[in-house]
Amino acid sequence: MTFRAPMRDLAFALSAAGHDALLETAFPDLDAATLQAVLEAAAAFAEDVLAPLNQSGDRVGARFDDGRVVLPPGFADAYRRFAAGGWTGLSADLEFGGQGLPKALEVAVMEMVHAANMSFGLCPTLSLGAIEALSRHGTKRQQRLVLPKLVSGDWTGTMNLTEPQAGTDLAALTTKAEPDGEGGYRLTGQKIFISWGDHDAADNICHLVLARLPDAPPGVKGLSLFLATKYLVNDDGSLGPTNALRPGGIEHKLGIHASPTCVMLFEGAKAELVGEPNQGVAHMFVMMNAARLQVGTQGVGVAERAFQRALAYAQERRQGRAVWSAEPSAVIYDHPDVRRTLLLTKARIEAARGICLTTAICADRARLAGSAAERAAARAREELLTPIAKAWSTDAGVLAASAGLQVHGGMGYIEETGAAQHYRDARIAPIYEGTNGVQALDLVGRKLPMANGGVMAELCDEMLLCAEQLIEIPELRSVAARLASAVAALDQASEWMLQNAGAPAQAAATPYLQLAGDVIGGWVLARQALAAAGSTEAWLRSKVALARLYASQILTQAPGQVISLTEGWAELAETPADALAA
């Protein structure tokens, strides 16, 4: 089936999330026509260039050939066209050659890219994070010579964190950085799971690497951030010889076959310090948080692609009689269970899309709001929402891909239909850039305690105000009641988490994040329903229907989720592993 970029849904979701108000205050020169033109151009590129490469890239995959990575046919050319279109620099600062447009618009564009071709989208995702890290912490030389090339897309970026012995435990990293006596450093060590660590699509690759200086303290406090490029960069910006780093091979993965996941070997590679010594984790988290929002957007994108394929199949496949059809052989969309599956999937997609766009709008306001207090409040909400956007949205992607495969039935299990690829691709997103369990621990350990729970409490108050607005619209009163009840459950759960820090809160972290995402997702759909209420247009009526369905099927579960997260943790402590062995 042909992929169609969800432009109408994206534009509506942006508006409902507060993008219009953002433009009025922070981007007064960005008119509706320009915004529409950007979305249309991105949609055309996603549909015409990237989507046709998705299945062929999956079948062929990236390959490791004589010490270098070769992308599947068409990918290198597609990347060069992506760079030439200026897409990497959409929200980057004008100072470095960017277009200075909203981060929320960038997220909307990248959702279409990920939906069309998730393997491809990983490459610019990492470059976008590197741009943010170097914009904030790079030296003047790095910002003069390297940053503009990343913004233009001529060069690409990577993130080098973990090592074979470390996993997510950054304290266990051992890659060394030795001063070279010339003001630079030499990196020695091995990094694993490096997406797009090597490829043949760009002129140079910029590796941001965590490593230890000789006199560094132990643990994460002893990590510094370094920039090492595939080809050395001369002072005039020209490329020098190959650096002493190389891919040692690529991984053979369940999905995202066209995205090369490299083992990177640093063998005395020349590098430059980024930011302050021993502050590498804090500096890298600028890139990491940017990537986490983008990965959440990946979840939305692959969910949208899987949903479109399943919906098209359900509208064509005929099987048996259906209660909503008089035909002897009805399309399966007219079977209630299939329709329920598809509508709930669509509701989750809209909710996840809204969460990611809301997070991006907060990031824009954190940079551009008129007062320091407004910027601080926006930054705090962005920080609160980021782990939810990453984890809840990627879980939604897996659920959507699984549901899409189920709608196809046995045909979904056959690779030729394409449904299985979406499931295989989607499954990595809850794992990388910090597993969703790590996101949950971050939420309850760092983000929920901000202002003694005040950031979450303020969001809950805002969601309750939305519920009060819904009461005024008869067809949305049931949504109002269920949203208010769900917000009360989230508020109760938040209080319990704050009062039970440590093992209880950690054991309940994932259920808490799920609850928070469910409730915030309901709020997202409620805002969309408010914007659509009163319309007779079928597409806008569907927004009201999705909010009502989500409220009845998902928000109603919130009180029970509070019970599961407040009472279920004790059994975990009482059940040792040997009690489970066969």
Is residue 433 flagged as an active site residue? yes
Residue 267's CB: how many other CB atoms inside 10 A?
Answer: 13
Element (H or E) spanning 470, and its range? helix 454-471
Element (H or E) spanning 424, and its range? helix 419-426
CA atoms of 336 and 277, how far apart (whole Å): 60
Place of tokens 């489970």: 580
* Residue 231, beta-bridge partner list: 242
CA atoms of 519 and 479, how far apart (whole Å): 12
- Which residues fall within 8 angstroms of residue 185, CB to CB, at 6 or more apart? 177, 178, 179, 211, 213, 226, 270, 271, 272, 273
Please classify residue 231 by burial: count the beta carbons closer than 10 Å to its beta carbon, then call 0-12 exposed, 13-18 middle and 19+ buried.
Answer: middle
Helices (H) and strands (E) in the chain, counts: 21, 11
433, 458, 472, 571: which is the annotated catalytic residue? Answer: 433
CA atoms of 174 and 167, how far apart (whole Å): 12
CA atoms of 429 and 115, how far apart (whole Å): 13
Element (H or E) spanning 288, and its range? helix 280-316
SS3 453: helix
Q: Compute and round to an integer the Cα radius of gyration of the chain.
A: 24
CA atoms of 125 and 293, how far apart (whole Å): 10
Looking at the annotation, which residues are catalytic?
A: 433
